[in-house]
Structure 1
Amino acid sequence: MSLDSQVLDRPISQNLPSVEANLTYLIPMAEKLINYTYEPPAGIPRSNGTYQTHKLPIYNARSISKNILLDREGFAFTRHQTHVSNFYDEDEVRRVYYPEAEQLLKDVTGATQVVIFDHTLRNAGQSKPGENNIKEPAKQVHNDFTAKSGYTRARRELAAQGIENIDTLLQQRFAIINVWRAIAQPIQESPLAVCDAQSIGPTDLVAGDLMYRDRVGETYGVTYNSQHQWFYFPQMHRDEALFIKCFDSAEDGIARFAAHTAFEDPTSPADAPPRESIELRTFVFYPA
């Protein structure tokens, strides 16, 4: 499937309602970007990157959600009822939500196999670094994987799950797709914005080392480009799901990387409760 013939600056944002908000971009840098997932040794900053905010329109995509394609814009949206009663219950998430999301991804993408390898809960009111695994919303424009780390993370996680024929699997087309959802009341504070992958230039993506205590990953920081087109789905609730393409092994014009970030919504009430959300990270394997 090739999308080369499509116009990259498709006016899909035309006539859509929007909010104006500050998005935090990486400033171009000469050295390799390094970010730590933990408190680094004394004298070393958590990140050696410097960042700058740009005030941009973020378009309400609800009215065009059926026209947005995961393989073109790099994200997609659907209604999907979950039977999870408590997303803070680790066992219930793995026992109930993982199979729900696996089937949903197969339905949405036509995948032959889906492997869920990670999930993250976000709630600024409950996040206690070092004490629990709940994180705050990420408020810098980024993409979770790079053209390199998509493969290295896949090999690592598939091996950890005891999956056989890894070399064969990684020779066919696969993608890393996040499944993002509200887990409590409708989201008002720190909603998620997603950038149309077709509006992102190759030089906008800056590979950076992501330092863990036991390994080094790689993610993309993103530098500002006036062509970027940003979208969100306001007031998302727990029976809606947003898909974000963070990597695709296909290199024939299909969307590969959809940058994203939380942002401060200027229409959010001052007393809005902290955003509560979950994102699953998944490998999606397409028919050979």
Structure 2
Amino acid sequence: MTTTTQQMKLKYFQWDEKYRTEKPFQLYADIPAGVPDSIRGNVKFTDGETETIEDVRGQEEKYSLDNHGFAFCGFETDFCGWEEKTAVETEYYRQMEEILTTKVPGADLVHIFEHRLRRSDPPRAPGLTVSLSDPSRYLSPAGTVHKKLLRSRVQVINVWRPLYDVIQNWPLAVCDGSTVASSELVAVDQVRRHSRGDGLVLRYKPGYKWYYLSRMRLDEALLLKNFDSKPAGKAKFAPHTSFRPSNVPRNAPKRTSIEVRALVFSFDQDDK
């Protein structure tokens, strides 16, 4: 075990018998005065057992999207207009399409549909809760218009990377998708002011394998699989969370990162 490998308790979905008749939900919106705060949700999380989060620094090439649900790659860009939404959606999206076409085996078409800037300070602070995006909200609208595309192999893949500094605070930990069964994921309604969709949270079980890349640089990127329509395969997704390492200096810069989400289509059906 390296000195940068971490021992950590992560937070997992806590099962309750009420979920047999009541769907788990979380509300991300302001509540009018006088309305009970409990309306914000009925979801609870609990610590799992202490788990090892292994540092893969120097061994990044061992991990792949097909076998583990995640992969690391090099990426350099001169783009710096992160707060300009239109610029991100034109120039940066184009760069991300190129890297996904290159790094995802068999990728024929890439469509990036959204991005998010993430910071380690409130109100969008990271946390230890293990989660996964639900792909159904991205695929359902396409079903009526792009039936031909959906007959191909479809993957939902996120690309996550730092923006300004080497990441020391709240790096991203990823779970080896081959150690997670679909039955261990729970769908949670996530209600926002102008939208509603499902998120997926993970129930704890012994045997999950966790990894992270210490001191992740601006010229490095993490590819995360959220969905894979290929029936056979070792890893169809990679649950993930952020965590605070035990050896972070007090003066370490706050984390700022960007995550893009993409549909990746592979037209060759022979690998199915």
- What stretches of structure 1 of length at least 5 have no aligned partner? 1-14, 129-134
Measure, in 2, the Cα distance between the counterparts of 1:69 and 1:123. 27
Aligned pairs (5 A) from 1:8-157 = 18-30=5-17, 31=19, 32-40=23-31, 42-43=35-36, 44-54=38-48, 55-109=50-104, 110-125=106-121, 127-128=122-123, 135-145=124-134, 150-156=135-141
Per-residue CA distance 1:9-52 (angstroms, 9 max, x = gap)? xxxxxx56511123111112331211223235622343311111
Q: Matched residues in 2 for 1:29 and 1:253: separation?
A: 31
Deviation per CA, 1:46-79: give whole Å up to 9, x if none.
Answer: 3311111233210001222111110110000011
Q: Which moved more, 1:16-25 or 1:39-48?
A: 39-48
Q: What is the identity percentage for the equivalent residue pairs of Structure 1 and Structure 2? A: 31
Contact 1:144/1:219 (8 A) holds in 2: yes
Choose 211-220 or 25-34, whichever is displaced more: 211-220
Whole-angstrom CA distance in 2 between matches of 1:96 and 1:138: 30
| Distance (Å, rounded) in 2 between the aligned partners of 1:223 and 1:63 | 30
Distance, in Å, in 1 between the alignment partners of 2:260 and 2:44 is 28
TM-fit CA distance, 1:271: 2.4
Q: How does 1:270-281 map to 2 (within 5 A)?
A: 270-281=250-261
In structure 1, what is the Cα distance between the partners aligned to 2:127 and 2:31?
A: 19
- TM-score by structure 1 length? 0.83
TM-score, length-normalised on structure 2?
0.88
Quote the Cα distance in structure 2 between the aligned partners of 1:211 and 1:270: 35
Matched residues, number: 258
Backbone CA RMSD of aligned residues? 2.0
Are 1:170 and 2:150 matched, yes or no?
yes
Structure 1 stretches of 4+ with a deviation exceeding 4 A read none
Deviations 1:72-125 (A, max 9, x none): 100000111112123223233222210011010000113111011111101134
Shift of 1:138: 4.4
Paired with 1:86 and 1:23, the residues of 2 have a C-alpha distance of 34
How far apart, in 2, do the equivalents of 1:203 and 1:151 lie? 16
Q: Please give the alpha-carbon distance, in whole angstroms, between the structure 1 residues aligned to 2:213 and 2:76.
A: 17
